[in-house]
Structure formats: structure tokens, C-alpha cells
Structure 1
Amino acid sequence: MTLTKSIVFAVVTVLATMALATTITNSTSSSGRTFTALFTDATSLNKGDDVRMAGVKIGTVEKVGLRENDTAEVTFTAAESAPMVEGTRAELRFRNLIGQRYIALEPGATGAAALEDGYTFTLDETRPALDLTMLFNGFQPLFKFLDPDDVNNLSAQIIAVFQGEGTTVESLLSSTASLTSTIADRDQVIGELITNLNSVLDVVSQRTGQLDTTLVTLQRLVSGLAEDRKTIGSTIEGVGNLTESVAGLLSEGRAPLRKSIDSLGDVSENLAENDKVIDRFLTTMPQKTDELGRLATYGGWLNFYICSIDGRIPRPEGYYGDLGVESPAGRCR
């Protein structure tokens, strides 16, 4: 009786261990139907990568090759239970932060005819992963306007204003003269404005009753203000004190502000000297944020897959090292 119980316990333990190992390695049986998909770009897709449908792994990539017309040919398997029907689309998506990818299958309409074993998905039925080069090429016109020299010139002009240089005042006077000349050139428009103003005055004269009411109301407002002149006077005195305090604040902050503006030129120069680093950062940022978003969709954490662990255990006479384990999963090879 004891031997029978021991055998049953051992069998159950082995089966549970096998199920746990299968769950941890996310492995599936290699049996199933075989299909081929053509992609214009299959970069970072390797043998052993996942084939998923609705987020569930249903197969594995078996082979990645190249056709004569510079088209990537990917052979993969799919479980018998997977609904591989007409209208199914194969897309390449990012799996993690290190650039690994997988094939995502979008099933066709319900009730469509099933695909035969060995079916080939054409380029019209597939879609490659996001092309970051094409994305950032669209921003090239914007990047061309970010000229470091223009930023330096703007910094110099701001500094000149705070330093009170005469050339800045002359520029202001020139602009004022230009405005005056422009007004003189618009004498016809000004004449039309006066004509329209006469029309408005005619309408106002026709509304004398309403205007009288407005004036009476205004007189009441002025009388109320006169009665509150002491409160208003104390308020104006407080505004004067506030103005004096603000003036002192501006006087004290003028030197640090001038120093900050002087440093703006150095900052823009550093940015200009490290344009390659900035370009690389901007190029990789969308991919990183996209992958971080995918990893965080399960909750407020990030999922990581550990391929190997090693370490050493301290002992009184020394270290007992070379301890560890390595995962046999295909993604760690």
C-alpha cells in the first residue's frame, strides 16, 4: 500500500513539474500546419520566435530566408486549433526592448474558408514592423529649421536688450518709422474707417434713450467710486508698495538673469556639437517608448525573461562557486 502511494505521488510530481516547466518556457508543440509568409522586411525575426494570435502563442518560426526578388520568406507553424481562414493577415511586431520580434496573426471573418496546409501569405496579406527610418524622414523639414546659428543670434539679441545697447534702440526707432510710413500708405483705408465711424455715430444718435440710461448708470458708478475713494486710495498705495517691491526684485534678479542668458549661447553650442547624439536619441526614442508601453500593458510593472543565473556561496574555508542554471528556451540561444 505504501509503495503504491509512493508511485502515485512520484508520477503526479513529475507531471506537475513538466507542466510548470512548459509554462515557464512558454513552449508549444512543434506539430501543426505549416505556412509561409512574404515580408518586405523581416529584420530581427529569427528561428524559434513566437507566432501569436490574439496574444496567445500558437506556433513557432521555423525558417527565415530570402527570395530572388529581395523579399523575406518566413516559414512558420500554427496549431491545428488555430482559426487559419481566408482574410487572415500576418504582421511583424516588437516583442521586447532588445528588438526581438514575433509574428502576429489577425484572423479573418468568421465563417470564411479554411486555409490549406502550406498556404503562402503574399505581400498584400502581410505587414512589416514599423519603419523608424521612414518615420523620422518625415521630420526632416522640421529639423532643418532648428539652426544653432539662429538660436545664437536670438540669444545675442536678448542680451543686447538687457544691456541697453544703442543699436537696439536705433532698431526700435527704425521699426517705429516703418510703422508710421505704413499708416501713411493706408490713408484710403483710414478714410473708410472714418466713414464707417460716422455711420456708427448716426446709429448712436438714434438710440439717445438707451445712451441716456447708460450715462445715468455711469454717473451712479462714478458716485459709488467717489464714496469708496478712501478704500481705493489705500488700494493704490498698496499697489505702489507692490510695484516698489517688484522693482527691487527685478533689480536683484537682473544679474542672475543676465548670466543665465549668457549661458544660453554655450548650451546651444553644446547642442550643435552633439547633434549626432541628439539625432540618435530621437531616432531610438519612439521604439523604446513603444516597447516600454507594450511591456507595461499587463500592469504597473515590466516583464523580463531570465536566461541564466550564476553565483557563489560563501563558506568558512572559501567560496563554493560555479553555481547557476541556464534556460534551454529558443529565445536564449
Structure 2
Amino acid sequence: MSIRAPLLKLIAFAAVTVLLTAMLAQTFGSFTGGGTSYRARFTDVTGLLEGDDVRIAGVRVGQVEDIRVADNTVAEVEFTVDGDIPLGTGVRAKVRYRNLVGQRYIALSEGPGDGRPLPPDGLIPLAQTTPALDLTVLFNGFRPLFTALTPEDVNKLAYEIIQVLQGEGPTVTSLLRRTASLTNTLADRDEVIGRVVTNLNGVLSTLADRDESLDTTISQLQSFVSGLSADRAAIGEAVANLGELTGATADLLHDARPAIQSDVAALEQVAGTLNENSAVIDRTLGTLPGRYESLTRAASYGSWFNFFLCDFDGRVTLPGAGAVTPAGVNSPAARCDTSGGAR
């Protein structure tokens, strides 16, 4: 009992998995559930693969089963068609392009005949088959036209060309109308294209005249880049160090910002005071030379200052008597001569 339950679960899981796999294979692999087998011979089936569609009026009715060489000269394709769709002996088979990627399919259509049914495993001869277009030759002929289009327009026009030549798209007149419109557009821009070519010739001529300088510049640039490559380790370290320095500077400015702000405010105040007393400062700076000369003469005896009393006077205010000015003292010594400027 302990083994039977897991075994039943495993069997159920395997059955569901196989069923889902078969459904996916049916969906994505385009498998059919059988049908009547027929054969058709083509001069060229390049790109046609086993499993490709067989269509009638664009509706899928079967698939290609096998591709082989017959009589060492032609390709014989074996395909199946749904059993409820009979084919006549006049049926025609064409290999057509399914898309621009290169996928192909076989298109079946009724042709002239006596209306007799084609027997199972019957052969459609070469006279009633048409190979696929050779896109390489076709697109090479349109290459000058494609160079003037965007990739999206190229894909659209190429697909329309294939549809026209396979009889599935617009008429040849519509295709020619589109081609003529594009050609007229290119003709209208002939002057602009001519100017571009002329300018390009001028640029190329200038480059040709300076070929030696251009070679030297390229060589120097190569040497410069080689030097940078050789010093990439040092440059990387320098960049890292610059990052660290930037971080340290930011931290320093962040810490010193309050002090700097107060210093700037104090400097602003000092500058205002100096500006208000500019006259006093000018007068003081004008008298400084004479005062420095007097101080130098007074200190000429040594590293000290000698003072000599030349004049003395005073004023005393007494209660009830007012201000009393006593007699002053005035020395007649030569050093007290006022013409020298030291008193």
C-alpha cells in the first residue's frame, strides 16, 4: 500500500505530461492526423523543408512529408492532403514564400484538365509545378532602389514584390506606381545629393592634401592613448586619492564653517569701522614718517629711550579760587630746540 499510492501518482503525472506534450507538438509542430499522400516534382525546392504547409487558397490542408531526388535531375516532394479534399489530375503545385525569413509552402490550385481525380500517391508532373522565386537574383536587381529606403520600407516593398510576382498581392501596376513614386522622389533630391557628393569630394581632397599631418596626428594620438594605458594604475590611484581629498576637504569645511562665518561677520564689522574713520587713518598714516624719525633719534643711544624734560606746565583748579596756572619750566638746552621736532 505504501508503494502503490506514489506509483499511481507517478503514472497519472506521466500520462498528463505525455498528453500535454502531444498537444504542444500538434500546435507548434503543425502535425496532421493523416490524409491522402501525393507526389510532385519540381526543378528546385531550395528552402522547402519537411513539415512545411500545403495550402489551397491560403488555407492549410496538409504538410510536406518527404523530399528526395528523382532521376538524378529533379526534386520529388511527397506531401499529404486532408482526405476530404480530393485533387484532380489537372492540379498545379507552386512553391511560394511564406515570409521574408525564407520559409516556404506548397500552394495547390486547380488547372485545366478532364476533371478526373488524382489517385492516392499520384504524381504531379514538372509541367504542372512551379519552383520558388530566386530572391537573390530578384533583390540584386532592386539593390540600387533599396539603398535609398529605410529597413522598414525595404521589408515592405520586398514583400510586396514577392506577392506581386507570386500573384498574391496588388497588381504589377500598383508596384510600378510605387517604384515610380520613389524614383521621382530621388530625382527631386538630385540637387541635394549632388551638393553632398561635392562636399564629400572637398573633404576627401583636404584630407588627401594633409595626409602626412593626419598620419602624424594619429600616431601621436596612439602614443598618447598608449601612455594613458600604461599609466592606468597610477591614474586610477590618483582618482581614488582625489576622491579621498575631496571628502576630507568637505569634512574640514563642514567643521570650520561656523568659525569662518563668525570671522567673516567680524571682518565685515572691522571693514565698516575702518571705512567710517578713513579720514583719521589717512591723517595718521601721513604723520607716521615724522613720528618714526623722532623715535629713531630718541633711541639712537642704545636699545632704550632717553627722555629729557624740556617744558613743564600745569593747571590746578582750587575750590573757591577757580583754575590757577603756576609758572612753568622751560629748559634752554639745545636738545630742546623745537626745530628738531623732539620735545
Taking structure 2 as the reference length, the TM-score comes to 0.34
Taking structure 1 as the reference length, the TM-score comes to 0.35
